[in-house]
A and B are shown apart, each in its own frame.
Chain A
Amino acid sequence: MPHRRDALGREHLLPVLLLLPIVALFSVGYIVPLAQLVLKSLQHEGAWSLKSYIEIANSPAFLWIVLKTLALAATVTIVCLLIAYPLAYAISKCPPRPAAFLLLIVTLPYLTSVLIRTYAWIVLLSPNGPVNQLLLHLGLISEPLQMVFNSVGVYVGMVQVQLPLMVFPLYAVLARVNPSLAKAAQSLGSPPSDAFLRVTLPASMPGVISGCTLVFLSSLGFYITPELLGGPDSYLIAQGISLRVLILGNFDEAAAQSSILMLTVIAVFLIFRQRIAEELDDRPNNNVSSTGKSSTGLSPRSPILERLTAVLHGPLMRLHEALTVVRRPALYVSAGLTLLLLVLPFVVVIPLAFSNAPYLTFPPPGYSLRWFSSLLKNTQWLDALSFSLRWAGLSALLSVAIGVPAAFALVRYRFSARVPVYLLLISPLIVPHVVIAVSLFFALAGSSLIDNPLAFALSYTIIGAPYTVVVMIAGLKRFNRTLELAAASLGSSPLVTLRTVTFPLLLPTLASGAIFAFIVGFDDVVFGLFLSGPTATPLPMRMWDNIRLEISPQIAVIAVLFLIVLALLMVLRLFVGAVVQGRRPQESLHA
């Protein structure tokens, strides 16, 4: 379809107006602080200087930490890819309903606080935790293994935390791969495994690339899991930065390290920008133009490779036939184990919440509601809970208010700054929160905004609004615009169309965007570390202190409450969807 005249009007001013609120807020709370951070790193005692960078470059300890961070991020990425691929593949082969359920299971950990999951891993992996108990019981080990507070714990926890980020893009691509392609390859003489290697795997490469990019980038700046699960040997760059700011007060070096981390992440991000900005385009991305093919249209393969393939064809076929029996079970076992890894923390946390023990032990010796009542009696916890609900809720509303118009502008209008603006608006998903938090800390330091709820509302909106934007862009792109043309042909002005057709149909998407933004703020620890104080303490900060100082079943209680709230939100979202999809017939005409 060629461009249609826009039903909302042709004014060039409109996209600017739609983008103005979010760009203004991002400027104040995000761009300017980050720019100041970079400038600060280039100064020393008020004068321009590269002193911080020189000091860093001369510090073998820092280089070691950088290497370790890179190695950890790479390892986590590879492990995630290896175990996420079979799961995503298996889900893509499922019928719609089971597939939706399995995706929900993958989503659940993604929506649950990293703190809660990390806490569960401490319980699971501790010397007398269930994993060690199982291994001892099976006689595989004679002494409990030390799996927590060292790099083992960090790896296990990180992989579990990052796994959904890998599964989603892989699934998105695999679900789109036309199943007839593999069947066609089989009908042309490829055995199924060969068809997979030659057709499905290459077709899923875009998903592999975006999944790996996401996991790698977000692992680089990860803070919570390494800090809680790691030992002194698993000290990473994000921890180094926060240590310099919060304990050592070495602001210049922290600024320099933050700048390095941020610029590395942005560089990788921009390398894969093409792939990410494609999300905005309506063009199908399979219009591959001329590749390095010869004039016959066949790829010029070396004769040696051709001959080798021919020689190996027979044995490969036999090997494939031999493997046919185990191929399917192997896929399902692997997918099942990955799912288990995803849900294991919840399996532990739920019984723990009902423990009657005065300290943490698993399995609980008996069950009671003592930890629930202890929570309800503790005003510190309740205050923190209400603080988080209030300010994460406010920023969710704010995210919707500024994110929805922005998504409209980005999807519905063509203007030159469109892709840069899009990249800017989603960049808080990529830039490590530690860096953003440090920059805000520097920007707000000395003002009354530290230890002030407004700072939380601002920062929660900055990390929440990108989710609203992304969710709304996806929703708007799926939206059937012929409905708006139909409304216009029936006599609706653009605003009436928006009110009677577009908005009601996008309400479920809007709800999803709000829920995401809320959860992101509600779960936050990193901003809390830098911005909280005696008067402004969000719930995750209380949890953080509890896990670090005493580790009691109290966290499990909060996890259970959180899961209940999450379930309620999902029901609410389903309800909104149901209301939009099918209103009760009675109110049809007499509205």
Chain B
Amino acid sequence: MSVSTATVSAKVTAGLATSQSRRGAVSVNSLTKNFGPVKAVDDVSLSIEPGEFVALLGSSGSGKSTLLMMIAGFEASSSGDIMLDGMRINDVPSYRRGFGMVFQSYALFPHMTIAENIAYPLRRRGLRGADVEREVVKALKLVALDGYGTRLPSQLSGGQQQRVALARALVFRPPLLLMDEPLGALDRKLRQQLQMEIKLIHKEVGSTIIFVTHDQEEALSMADRVAVLEQGRLQQCGTPRELYEQPAIAFVADFIGEMNFLPVELRQSGGEVCARSADLGLEVMQEAGQVLTSGDRGLLAVRPEYVGLTPDERATAMVLESAYTGTNQSVLVQVGSIRLTARTSVSAGRPLFQSGQRVRFEIDAAHTRVFPAAR
């Protein structure tokens, strides 16, 4: 066990809103975790700037939680490094890392009042008396729970409990805050409200945040950068916009948002790839970003909002089903053996598409991407 952890478990000194003076740079290098023959986390490298808000996004079993548990120190890594501000912390026990952590199940101590829960990390750091009281009051204010200090966790709603958990994880001003599906147990309305609050609090305290979620909408709306994990591997890490508009692989394209995947044949010509589909009567030219060879089958990915529809009695495409969602209408269209979804904005005066209606469709080539059909 390393002894040089004094800076990691630094005592509380400054005011709550003070930034961490650029502490909280986290990086993992070739981090791997084996559970027997299974690689739960497989050679993941990721570098996070101080103050950045990064979401780890993936379905269950993708390794996102295991990665977080290794950063938190609850899980030993099999190989690779975890670095905090340039220092390797793999062998620092969790209780000396000094990271805040918020759990999905809140994990408030049921035998302590809210104030005692929040005072807990301060007491462990040697604070006593009025200092503790002042910090607790400040932390409660931060999460808008002033005056709740004397209650017990069981007397609070789920959303309030999670706010307390957040206050408890932030009260000792950790350079890094880890959140393990913190909103997973809450209903939709409350979740959206807390998402906003967490973003505001992040701005206010300036800690680095690593946020695990399986909800892509949550990841996109909250994080500065999103790291998509699948089968233990880091598939792509980028800003929400990069992930949505320039997915690097078909998995990410499929996982983030809605996406049509249309089967195409590929032909390479110079620096460009031509994706053709005879069924759809379609030909799209793309820069050959990936290794695509002529004659391969490929997938042309296009988001529903870039599929345009026009009513046309003589067209071969037909509306199968449609769903009206207020501002938009999602329309499922059958073209030969292929089905694709279009999203059209609803405007006054224009009738909605109906099942059985013949339509002509257009695909906006500028917003398509081509992937090899390796799925």
Contact yes or no, B119 A589, CB < 8 A? yes
Asked if B152 contacts A491 (CB within 8 A), the reply is no
Docked-complex contact B151 and A488, CB < 8 angstroms: no
CB distance from B374 to the nearest CB of A (A): 29
B125: A residues at CB distance < 8 A: 491
Q: Which of A153-161, A233-241, A497-505 lies at the interface?
A: A497-505
Is there a chain A Cβ closer than 8 Å to B324's Cβ? no
B9 contacts the other chain (Cβ, under 8 Å)? yes
Asked whether B342 is an interface residue with its Cβ less than 8 Å from the other chain, the reply is no
B100 at interface by CB-CB < 8 Å:
yes
| Chain A contacts with B in 571-591, Cβ cutoff 8 A | 580-583, 585-586, 588-589, 591
Does B120 have its Cβ within 8 Å of any Cβ on chain A?
Answer: yes
- CB within 8 A of B74: which of A5, A491, A589? A5
Tell me the complex Cα distance, A7–B9, Å.
Answer: 18
**Interface flags, A26-44, vs B, CB<8A=1, else 0:** 0000000000000000000
Q: Please give, as numbers and ranges, the residues of chain B lying within 8 Å of A486 by CB-CB distance.
A: 101, 103, 107-109, 165
> B150 to chain A: which residues have CB within 8 Å?
585-586, 588
Partner among B94, B107, B169 whose Cβ is within 8 Å of the Cβ of A482: B107
Known: A583-B113, A588-B150, A589-B115. A492 touches B107 (CB 8 A): no
Return the chain A residue nearest B133 by Cβ: A589
Q: Which of B89-140 contact A (CB under 8 A)?
A: 93-101, 103, 105, 107-113, 115-116, 119-121, 124-125, 132-133, 136
Complex alpha-carbon distance, A415 and B97, angstroms: 29
CB–CB B75/A5 < 8 A: yes
With contact pairs A2-B35, A491-B124, A491-B172 given, residues A588 and B116 touching in the complex (Cβ less than 8 Å): yes
Check if B213 is an interface residue, CB within 8 A of chain A: no
Which size bracket describes the interface of A in this complex?
A: 20 to 34
The answer to whether A581 and B154 touch across the interface, beta carbons within 8 angstroms, is yes
A4, A491, A501 — most chain B CB neighbours (10 Å): A491
Does A316 make an interface contact (CB < 8 A)?
no
**Could you say which of A4, A489, A504, A581 contacts B101, with CB atoms under 8 Å apart?**
A489
A492 & B115 in contact (Cβ 8 Å cutoff)? no
B149 within 8 A of A: yes
Beyond A483-B109, A588-B113, A589-B133, is A489–B100 a contact (Cβ under 8 Å)? yes
Residue B72 lies at the interface, judged by CB distance under 8 Å to chain A: yes
Contacting A at CB under 8 A, from B129-184, are 132-133, 136, 149-152, 154, 165, 168-169, 172, 178
In the complex, residue of chain B having the shortest beta-carbon distance to the beta carbon of A500 = B120
- Interface flag for B186 (CB, 8 Å): no
A487 at the interface (CB under 8 A from B): yes
User: Is B309 interfacial (CB 8 A cutoff)?
Assistant: no
Chain A, 481-524, CB within 8 A of any chain B CB: 482-483, 485-494, 496-497, 500-501, 504-505
Given A482-B107, A485-B101, A486-B103, check contact A588 B74 (CB 8 Å): no
**A480 part of interface (Cβ distance < 8 Å):** yes
Q: Is the CB of A480 within 8 A of B105?
A: yes
Q: How far is the CA of A193 from the CA of B154 in the complex (A)?
A: 40
User: Chain B interface (Cβ within 8 Å of chain A)?
Assistant: 9, 35, 40, 66, 69, 72-76, 93-101, 103, 105, 107-113, 115-116, 119-121, 124-125, 132-133, 136, 149-152, 154, 165, 168-169, 172, 178
Interface set of A (CB-CB < 8 Å, partner B):
2-5, 7, 480, 482-483, 485-494, 496-497, 500-501, 504-505, 580-583, 585-586, 588-589, 591
22 contacts between A and B (CB under 8 A): A4-B75, A482-B103, A485-B74, A485-B94, A485-B107, A487-B109, A489-B97, A489-B99, A489-B100, A489-B101, A490-B169, A491-B124, A491-B125, A492-B120, A493-B93, A504-B111, A583-B111, A585-B151, A588-B116, A589-B119, A589-B133, A589-B136
